[in-house]
Structure 1
Amino acid sequence: MRNLGLSIYPDHSDFEKNKNYLELGHKYGFKRIFMSMLEVGDSVEAVKNKYRKIIDVGNRLGYQTFLDVSPRIFQKLNISYADLSFFHELHVTGIRLDQAFDGATEAMLSYNKYGLIIELNMSNNVDYLNNIISYQANTPFIYGCHNFYPQVGTALPFDFFVKCSQRFKHFGIHTAAFVASQVGKIGPWNVNDGLPTLEEDRRLPIAVQAKHLFASGLIDDVIIGNAYASEAELAALSQVDRYQLKFKMNFVSAASEIEKKIALETQHFRRGDMNQLVIRSTMPRVTYKSVPNPPHDNQIEYQKGDVLVGNDSFGIYKNELQIVLKPHKEPRKNKIGQLSPEEVFLLDFIKPWSKFKLQI
């Protein structure tokens, strides 16, 4: 199953604000907490008490908490990799290893007696995971999670992200990546230009970022990297379909009721024999074969992202829905609307037989 998550930073924030944030996230169906422990400065007991207090709040609300740790923190808190009781006593679900070890260490950690999940850093295109698996790791207890990038211009390009992620999906490993709130100001460091995994997502609306990650087919859990996201952002994420793309569209004023019905009430899928001009959803022409559809908005050059429906002059193709990929003219098609501009790039993820929906 695919989940939504959020992040909190106990060393840079207030307990009551974090508690309120977790309660708000719970209201909108969030299930995961990313919590950073890369920058602690207190004693072992002080750290344990502070983190456990907020982790227990999350546990009562049904969250799973993953704690981001590094070798430096193990040394600072005098924690041994052979004994993960410190993290068990924090009541976390798992620990995320921000830095790599030798493969054998990670594999051994996956057999810890507390059943803690060991989450690996996914943002490197090296044979790291295969090395761990070769040491007979306990793979049901191995997860993967990408990095986030506070500095603008430094997050992953999409093609590199794909290569890194495919290494984990090849083994069926549960994966996660980050999106950026446009209002959150809190992160682990004193630079925060948003905390996304993908650079091209940094300034996009948060729901579009999530659609991008889910549409890749490579990410199971989407986590907001910076705190605190607004309630509007949490609500928008909660409405994202995690299993198929739902494009937001705007109708032209002349769009008819049948055209709106075709667009909004159909489970669309792209024909298997694809072309480069348009994405074709052909079932509406069967379902609404006998319904008239007079021409309108059909004397223009259609642009990428325009939504079209065949009109009465289009014969067998009347009431077929199409989404434009390349500009063209065709008076036998009515323009009924267009996709939201920020979502047009997501058309690249509609492959032959891909399922999708349209919404306003």
Structure 2
Amino acid sequence: MNRRLGVSIYPDHSEFTEDKEYLTRASKLGFSRLFISMLEVTEGKDKVKEKFQKIITVAKELSYEVILDIAPVIFEDLGISYDDLTFFAELGADGIRLDMGFDGNKEAMLTYNPYGLKIELNMSNDVAYLDNILTYQANKPFLYGCHNFYPQEGSALPYDFFVKCSERFKKQGIRTAAFVTSQSGKMGPWDINDGLPTLESHRHLPIHVQTKQLFATGLIDDVVIGNAYASDEELAEMANVDRYQLSLTVEFVAQANDVEKQIVLAEQHFRRGDITSQMVRSTEVRKKYKHETNLAHNNEVEFQRGDVLIGNDNFGKYKNELQICLEAHSDTRKNKVGQVNEKELVLLDYLLPWTKFKFTTEGSD
């Protein structure tokens, strides 16, 4: 399934011109999914329709898929029914996200709406909600899943729970989404906004690290910025993330030579299938570079988790093998050529047997 990047806007708290400009900037960088909150609408049906139709028209011109976040109170306030989704189709939306669920049969029926609107379900509960809907023979291609975001510090999902919830959807082949948070965005649906991540561990991380981890899980197809507005730098960082392969940012030591930098940056790496707990081994490169001289340097230190190592001339057949240190150890036959960025160390957990990976330098991911 193709992977996408998305942004969020809050028309009841923002100005049209600012939203339009933000969507345009993000679109140019490859963002293609838009989450629009309708949880806070307070105006009448006609004004709501005019406001949302205007910005959705812009979004569609920019080729966004538009999902509206709705709740039962919206239907009551606007005098519309779950049995007739005409209003949302007329707005130009591609789908609606159900903030609250029903009995399973209702959601299944909604997937057969005559407008082809996607029905997006809340993923952030470890219950058989999706399974129940599918037993009612839902129109599966029109079902999406999307996690919640959490404005209050300390209230977002712990990682293990997130995985369990996500696996329920992924094993059924449902398109999934989760939120990352901008460190500059101040706008969300409510008056409390300590960031809008799905995972609590992401709340204070750089946005590209959050994005890399969500894609690395293999459980999330669409990564959406929860709050508005992300900075230009954050949009660019997120856009540069490799969505299909783990990419680690390396910071070279001053003594790293040209051959070592070539090995690190220019080659396709993968972890050997017969793994060791001490390090990640990328062994094919040693064959390609077996005739290249590599003098010892930075080799009389205790290597730490995340250090990038390459065998020097004293390592025999293992000369120019690349390794990433997982457990502290010493070996003068290896040169420390750099280290994985400290904030990306969590990504080392996703280097499984045979995992493909690459390295980039700061700002070039």
TM-score bin (small chain): over 0.9
Distance in 2, Cα, partners of 1:180 & 1:345: 17
In structure 2, the residue matched to 1:26 is 27
Which residue does 2:252 correspond to in 1? 251
- Matched residue, 2:242: 241
Q: Show CA shifts across 1:109-131 (max 9, x none).
A: 00000000000000000000000
SS of the residue aligned with 2:7? strand
Alignment length (residue pairs): 360
Residue matched to 2:345: 344
**1:288 Cα deviation from its structure 2 partner:** 0.5
Q: Which residue of 2 aligns with 1:329?
A: 330
- The aligned residue for residue 269 of structure 2 is 268
Structure 2: distance between partners of 1:327 and 1:213: 27
Q: Quick one: distance in 2 between partners of 1:348 and 1:79?
A: 47
Partners of 2:255 and 2:22 lie apart in 1 by 44
The runs of 5 or more residues in structure 1 that have no matched partner are none
Partner-residue secondary structure (3-state), 1:249? strand
Q: Distance in 2 between matches of 1:359 and 1:40?
A: 44
What secondary structure does 2:335 align onto? strand
Match of 1:108 in 2: 109
Structure-1 separation of matches of 2:103 and 2:72: 13
Give the equivalent residue in structure 2 for 1:281: 282
What does 1:306-325 align with in structure 2 at a 5 Å threshold?
Answer: 306-325=307-326
State the distance in 1 between where 2:182 and 2:56 align.
Answer: 22
1:216 pairs with 2:232: no
**3-state DSSP of counterpart to 1:5:** strand
Per-residue deviation, 1:232: 0.5
Q: Match of 1:117?
A: 118
Alpha-carbon distance, 1:74 to partner: 1.1
Question: Which amino acid letter does the alignment assign opposite residue 86 of structure 1?
Answer: F
The alpha-carbon deviation at position 82 of structure 1 amounts to 1.2
Distance 1:292 1:24 in 2: 47
| Structure 1 position 27, deviation (Å) | 1.3
Q: CA offset at residue 319 of structure 1?
A: 0.4
Separation in structure 2 between the aligned mates of residue 126 and residue 239 of structure 1, nearest angstrom? 35
SS at match of 2:188: coil
Distance of 1:359 and 1:18 partners within structure 2: 32
Deviations 1:275-305 (A, max 9, x none): 1000000011011111111111101100000
Q: Aligned equivalents of 2:216 and 2:300: distance in 1?
A: 33
Deviations 1:241-284 (A, max 9, x none): 00111100111111110000000011000000001000000011
Matches of 1:154 and 1:309, distance apart in 2: 42
In the TM superposition, 1:159-198 aligns within 5 A as: 159-198=160-199
Partner SS state of residue 12, structure 2: helix
In the TM superposition, residue 75 of structure 1 has moved relative to its aligned partner by 1.4
1:349 deviates by 0.6
Distance 1:110 1:158 in 2: 30
**Cα distance in 2, alignment partners of residues 312 and 57 from structure 1:** 60
Q: Percent identity?
A: 61
Report Cα offsets for 1:313-337 as digits up to 9, x if no partner. Answer: 1111100000000000000100000
Structure 2 SS opposite 1:7: strand
Offset from partner CA, 1:6-49 (integer Å, 9 cap, x none): 00000000000001101111111110110001111111111111
2:88 corresponds to: 87
For 1:20, the aligned partner's letter is E
Give distance in 2, aligned partners of 1:24 and 1:132. 38
Partner SS, residue 21 of structure 2 = helix
Using the TM superposition, give the Cα deviation of residue 141 of structure 1 relative to its aligned residue in structure 2, in angstroms. 0.2
SS in structure 2 at match of 1:309:
strand
- Aligned counterparts of 2:83 and 2:152: Cα–Cα separation in 1: 35
Question: What residue in structure 2 maps to residue 138 of structure 1?
Answer: 139
Give the distance between the partners of 2:32 and 2:272, measured in 1 at CA. Answer: 35
Q: State the distance in 1 between where 2:15 and 2:242 align.
A: 32
Deviations 1:307-360 (A, max 9, x none): 000011111110000000000000010000001000011100110000000111
Answer yes or no: is 1:72 the counterpart of 2:73. Answer: yes
Distance in 1 (CA, whole Å) between partners of 2:77 and 2:136 is 28
The separation in 1 between residues aligned to 2:173 and 2:277, in whole angstroms, is: 32
User: CA–CA distance in 1 between the matches of 2:241 and 2:294?
Assistant: 32
Partner AA of 1:14 in structure 2: E
SS at 1:10 equivalent: coil
The answer to whether structure 1 residue 3 and structure 2 residue 1 are counterparts is no
Alignment partners' CA distance in 2, 1:61 and 1:345? 35
Q: What do the CA deviations read for 1:48-84 (whole angstroms, capped 9, x no partner)?
A: 1100000000000111110000111111111111110
Could you list the structure 1 runs, at least 4 aligned residues long, displaced by more than 4 angstroms after superposition: none
The residue type paired with residue 214 of structure 1 is F
Distance 1:10 1:91 in 2: 15
Residue 200 of structure 2 corresponds to 199
For 1:327 and 1:145, the matched residues in 2 are separated by: 39
Q: TM-score, normalised by structure 1?
A: 0.99
Q: In structure 2, what residue type is equivalent to 1:282?
A: T
The 1-side partners of 2:52 and 2:7 are apart by 16
Q: Letter of the 2:33 partner, please give it.
A: R
Secondary structure of the 1:233 match is helix
The code of the aligned residue for 2:181 comes to A
